[in-house]
Amino acid sequence: MASTTTWQWNTVADAAELEDAPPRLAPQQAQPWCNFTLWHPAGLPGGCDTAVGTLRKEAPPGRTAASAGRSPWSSANPAAYRTEISGGGRRLRLKQFLYDWAFPAADHPCLWGSETRAFPIGEERVVWLGIDYLGHPAASARMSRTTVELSILEGEFSDEELVALYRALRPADPGAPARIVRTPFSELSYWARHTTDLIEVPTGMFFFHRRDGRHQGDWVPTVELADFLMAQGVPAELGGFVSDSAAVFTDADGARDLEVIYTGERDGGELRLILQRSGAGRMPFPPEREKHPARAQKVQVRGRTVHLAYVDPEVGAFDAVWQDPALGLEGKLLTSSGQGMDKQLVLGRLDTLLAGSLLTGQGAAL
């Protein structure tokens, strides 16, 4: 019997059984095939209507001759939903999926490298407007863990129209968001469940050597998570954010880092803690800035110098890096964005973290 508290979804047993092209499917019919909350707009920009979207179903890694709608740079087959909205010579597309192969850089990875602006859209969420990797005016938001990306394909849409469209998004299944947020990330994530090449992407505003196909993440089973974190001396909770999943990543040269995901009660707001032994992981120290517009400063927390970078001090996203020579440890704390995810909250969580006893247990993972 399927659990009523966590999320279960349909998958295709073999990549060879996938349709030649993603099928047209209404959001309500597509939600049972998605490992993320599926959203649909209750209202549209003036003069526009919307066709039924298309669903890319999940299947194990693999490629067949029919690869329409599939990534050309990976053999992975994660789920995604795409909708085009058009009318009056204007056209945009919405793409929805679980961003689960890395931390979503700056919480709006499709806008990487562009100047971005945050707007509230309700439920303490924000949408970011900027320019995407194709050079199109675009937007991005994370809503109950779902990455909802928008790209303008034809014509012009005002900022106000884009923000209003995000504010009009409603879950296809009203019961899905709470169950999906309660489901551990490691159980939702395609890349945690399948061994396949990762996509090389930035993860924050400070440089972190890309995780790629030359390594495999070792995810901790949910039932073992509490004991695992205790053995490492890593806290199970950070000021209202509760540990959700953890993994150890090891590259071909033996560099190792421990990643712990903490989820908040607020719409799946997220903190990610990354730890490595000094000089023995993918994170250089002192940290080096990535090429994304952000502010950076040094702050003192519990006697340690913390390198802090962020897009907006009121809503995030944040990237904090520090070193503890006494423990021979380097750390990185990444956050999602949203109303309330401000500089004061992040510094408070850092204070809680650094006041604790990091890696005073066995620390065997590192």
User: Hey, what are 135's tokens?
Assistant: 């050079």
pLDDT at 171 over 80: yes
Q: What DSSP letter does each residue of 72-136 carry, written as one string?
A: TT---B--EEEEEEEETTEEEEEEEE---SS--GGG-GGGTTS--EEEEEETTEEEEEEE-TTS-
Least confident piece of the model among 82-86, 175-179, 199-203: 199-203
How far apart are the C-alpha atoms of 150 and 153, rounded to whole Å?
9
Interval 299-358: pLDDT, tens: 999 999 999 999 999 999 999 999 998 888 999 999 999 999 999 999 999 999 998 877
- Residue 281 confidence (pLDDT): 83
- Homologous superfamily of the 15-181 domain (CATH): MucB/RseB, C-terminal domain (3.30.200.100)
Mean pLDDT score of the chain: 91
How far apart are the C-alpha atoms of 256 and 250, rounded to whole Å?
4
In 3-state terms, what secondary structure has residue 197? coil
pTM as predicted: 0.94
Interval 97-136: pLDDT, tens: 999 988 999 999 999 999 999 999 999 999 999 999 999 9
